[in-house]
Amino acid sequence: MDKKKEVLLEVKNLRVEFGKRKKRFVAVDDVSFHIYRGETFGLVGESGSGKTTIGRAIIRLNETAGGEIIFDGKKINGKIDKELDKEITRRIQMIFQDPMASLNERAKVEYIVSEGLYNLKNYKTDEERKDKVEKAMLDVGLLPEFLSRFPHEFSGGQRQRIGVARSIVMEPELIIADEPISALDVSIRAQVLNLMADLQRKKGLTYLFIAHDLSVVRFITDRVAVIYKGKIVELAETERLYRNPLHPYTRSLFSAIPIPDPRKERAKKLEVYDPSCHHDYDKDPPKWVEIEPEHFILANERELEEYRKMLAKNGVQAIG
Amino acid sequence: MEDKKVILSVKDLVIKFRLRGDILTAIREASLDLYEGESLAIVGESGSGKSVFTKSFMGLLDANGWIDSGSIMFEGEDLAKFKTEKEWLKIRGKKIAMVFQDPMTSLNPLKTVGKQVQEAIELHQDIKGDEAKDLTIQILQDVGIHDPERRYNQYPHEFSGGMRQRVVIAIAVACNPRILICDEPTTALDVTIQAQILELLKGLKDKYNLTTIYITHDLGVVANVADRIAVMYAGDIIEIGKCEEVFYNPQHPYTWALLSSLPQLGVKGQDLFTIKGTPPNLFYEIKGDAFAPRNPRALKIDFVKRPPYFQVSPTHKAKTWLLDPRAPKVEPPESIRILRQQWEVGNNG
Ligand SMILES: Nc1ncnc2c1ncn2[C@@H]1O[C@H](COP(=O)(O)OP(=O)(O)O)[C@@H](O)[C@H]1O
Ligand SMILES: Nc1ncnc2c1ncn2[C@@H]1O[C@H](COP(=O)(O)OP(=O)(O)O)[C@@H](O)[C@H]1O
Ligand SMILES: [Mg+2]
Ligand SMILES: [Mg+2]
């Protein structure tokens, strides 16, 4: 991979906990990854694995219990000054899964799309604000006339466009899209994905794309991380990972993707992941290791041996 | 397939709803022969009528809806003529059962899981008390719930999403139905759980001699479970055939569009295929082929006259004028050709 790529976001040994003392629960545990400017980075894993929690920690909605989140060279988790807080509120935006639940039903679209601008007051005149809002509407393929309407007057796909407008109006650099198409009808999904790709090209956006439709993730992401119970177990360039998944959890996840081809789907073998029989971590604990360039995996020494052999079988030169 | 026994036969079914004083036609003269022991998948975008169509087999239409004409023949009776709940109770749950997408809506949060399964057994079979409890535990085991004696006394909230769906399936098969309708049974589940539930359903089909109907929008799931596929558009089945026939030799332009929308066909850096326009407004009468306004390859006649079924093979037919011997030769879109190539390469290599 190109060495000159600029890292926009870096997450280092991130830990997020919920609850106190006895009820304490570690939702995100020692998670590290970075996202290059301009790329689409995918985060996949079963529900409850900690994907949303990571997204919310980045935009400071969840407190972090350990580790660092560095955005464009500056640490943005923990205590930060007001200026920086304002700055990242603008530069990092999040799009949520359910456009219905995430839009204030009693507010007009105009207010919904303007909300972030109102909060930051980063415009000089009301004219300027209106201008930005109308541009954002056009950018997502909606008519500025719609601004005087209410969310319930729109279809699911249009509502998600409003959700996108509301984030791009801030002119962010990083957008965290948390299952942005899961609640949409299949026929609308492709339209929203096309819109997101189009905006990325035009505005040089960087995406952290959280999703559970693994076929879609393969199509739209450049790199992807697989998370299991709060820990990232494998991370690599998307095509590379889909072709050669190494970690048994990744393998089980990918083997479960239904293939829309009856002969292949019926011939395929499901792999089952059982952490208690796959790993023996008592004496030989796992580490986060770069097994081939840009391909990271959580494994201990014995497992690494095995994974290197698997790579060699597929004609790939491992590191170490 | 042709010499198989027909277990349920729907003819020219029309279903309408009254909504704020207007009438919409959700099912438009749809016909279907369901074969005993088969697994049929119904696919189509949301609003095409998949749920309404199958709910009508169980007398589960919403209060503002009715069967306007047509017949649903099952075990010598026309279900379309049923008027009373009493008539439906002989069928619903007992002969034809249903599994819905969201298990929480079908389970009572205040009753133990065991009780709920046992009630279904006691309601439909002549078994009571300890005997019914033993059978309940047996069925819980059959649907893959470990330690069923202990689980019997637990409440739905103590179960994960996938385990709850297993309980719903247990209730559905508890009364030994002949037909099991699964409406988006795995849509809300993680892929690994989805794969397990599909395996379970396939296993139960043999064990309980079920005929199954799957409603799903996921063509991957269809490829996994279906013997036959029915493609629904605007309240009618516009193409039906064996699973391989519909995947590898689709005929209707809507089926082409549906297959072209697969993200697997996407090329990085290019737009994904989208079907232009919107489905027809069901409040108005639909002229010709309902898909014509969205079909870039539509013929003149598509806007005028509704196509009948044309046979493609003894087991495969589609309602498109393209199959009329007089029609000009129209090639399927590029994406369908790419799909075929992928499949050929994949299946030979
Ligand atoms: N505010 C919260 N309080 C307590 N637990 C939470 C909270 N938010 C998330 N969790 C828990 O953290 C885990 C990860 O949740 P989440 O990040 O939402 O998962 P995902 O997005 O991958 O489905 C889950 O077990 C969830 O129940
Ligand atoms: N109770 C109802 N009142 C009015 N229209 C309804 C009702 N139920 C379903 N419909 C309409 O019937 C059509 C078919 O719906 P449905 O069978 O639920 O579609 P699908 O299951 O394919 O998504 C839709 O246009 C829907 O709006
Ligand atoms: Mg989430
Ligand atoms: Mg439905």
What digits encode the pLDDT tens for the residues A194-217?
A: 999 999 999 999 999 998 889 999
pLDDT band for B348, please (50, 70, 90 cuts). Answer: low
- Please, which pLDDT band fits residue B1 given cuts at 50, 70 and 90? very low
- Residues of B in CB contact (< 8 Å) with A are 45-46, 161, 190-195, 199, 217-224, 226, 243-244, 247, 259, 261-264, 266, 268, 271-275, 342-343, 346-347
DSSP secondary structure, chain A, as one string: --TTPPEEEEEEEEEEEES-GGG-EEEEEEEEEEEETT-EEEEE--TTSSHHHHHHHHTTSS--SEEEEEETTEE-SSS--HHHHHHHHHHEEEE-S-HHHHS-TTS-HHHHHHHHHHHHT--SSHHHHHHHHHHHHHHTT--GGGGGS-GGGS-HHHHHHHHHHHHHTT--SEEEEESTTTTS-HHHHHHHHHHHHHHHHHHT-EEEEE-S-HHHHHHH-SEEEEEETTEEEEEEEHHHHHHS--SHHHHHHHHTSPPS-HHHHHH-------HHHH--TTTS--EEEEEETTEEEEE-HHHHHHHHHHHHHTT-PPP-
Joined tokens for residue B203:
């296993």
Determine whether the interchain pair B224/A194 forms a contact, defined as Cβ–Cβ distance below 8 Å: no
Among A225-229, A313-317, B81-85, the minimum mean pLDDT is found in A313-317
User: What's the gap in Å between A97 CA and the centre of ligand 1?
Assistant: 15
Q: Of A29, A7, A8, A10, which Cα lies nearest the Cα of A68? A: A10
Name which of A101, A84, A107, A110 is nearest A166 in CA terms.
Answer: A110
B342 to A261: CB separation less than 8 angstroms, yes or no: yes
Asked if B194's CB is within 8 angstroms of A256's CB, the reply is: yes
Retrieve residue B344's tokens: 């050929």
User: What tokens does A170 get?
Assistant: 């801030």
pLDDT 10s digits, A253-277: 999 999 999 999 999 999 999 988 8
Across chain A, mean pLDDT equals 92
Distance CA B73, CA A308 (A): 61
Phi then psi for residue A277, to 5 deg, are -105, -15
Please name the residue whose Cα sits nearest to atom 18 of ligand 2.
Answer: B51
CB pairs under 8 A between A and B: 104
Q: Tell me what pLDDT residue B267 has.
A: 84
Mutate which of B43, B45, B52 for ligand 2 pocket (most atoms within 8 A of beta carbon): B52
ipTM comes to 0.89
B49 lines ligand 2 (CB under 6 A): yes
Q: Whose CA is nearest to atom 5 of ligand 2?
A: B17
How far is residue A187's CA from residue B349's CA, in Å, rounded to a whole number?
Answer: 32
Type and span of the H or E element at B66:
strand B65-74
Q: Quote the pLDDT of residue B265.
A: 84
pLDDT recorded at residue A185: 78
Q: What is the pLDDT of residue B349?
A: 41
CA torsion through residues B273, B278, B282, B287, sign:
negative
Give tens-digit pLDDT for B28-60. 999 999 999 999 999 998 899 999 999 999 999
Helices A109-120 and A126-139, axial angle in degrees (round to 10): 120
The whole model's pTM is what? 0.92
pLDDT for residue A178 is more than 90: yes
Q: What is the pLDDT of residues B148-172, one digit of tens each?
A: 999 999 999 999 889 999 999 999 9
Q: Is pLDDT above 70 for B97?
A: yes
Tell me how far apart the alpha carbons of residues B43 and B274 are, in angstroms, rounded to a whole number.
17
Tens-place pLDDT, residues B65-83:
999 999 999 999 999 999 9
Number of the ligand 1 atom closest to the C-alpha atom of A53: 17
Checking if the pLDDT of A104 tops 60, the result is yes
For residue range B117-143, list pLDDT tens digits in order.
999 999 888 889 999 999 999 999 999
Helical packing angle, B113-124 and B129-142, nearest 10°: 110
Over range A54-72, report the average pLDDT: 97
pLDDT at residue B2 is higher than 60: no
The full set of domains in chain B, from first to last, is: 34-62+80-226 (3.40.50.300), 231-348 (3.40.50.300)
User: What's the mean per-residue pLDDT of chain B?
Assistant: 93
Percent of chain B at pLDDT above 70? 98
Tokens of B206: 């043999």
Q: Which CATH number does A7-244 carry? A: 3.40.50.300
Top pLDDT among A178 and A102 is at: A178
What DSSP designation does B320 have?
A: -
Alpha carbon dihedral A78, A79, A84, A87, in 10-degree steps, equals: 50
Q: Are B204 and B121 in contact (CB under 8 A)?
A: no
Residue A1 in this model has a pLDDT that exceeds 60: no
More confident position, A47 or A42 = A42
How far is residue A236 CA from its own chain's centroid? 14
* Predicted pLDDT at B345: 67
Residues B281-301 have a mean pLDDT of 95
Q: How would you classify the pairing of strands B310-313 and B96-99?
A: unpaired
List Cα–Cα distances, B308 to B119, B158, B254, B282, in angstroms.
46, 51, 15, 20
The pLDDT assigned to A40 comes to 98
Taking only the tens place, the pLDDT of each residue in B205-256 is: 999 999 999 999 899 999 999 999 999 999 999 999 999 999 999 999 999 9
**Protein residue with least CA distance to atom 16, ligand 1:** A50
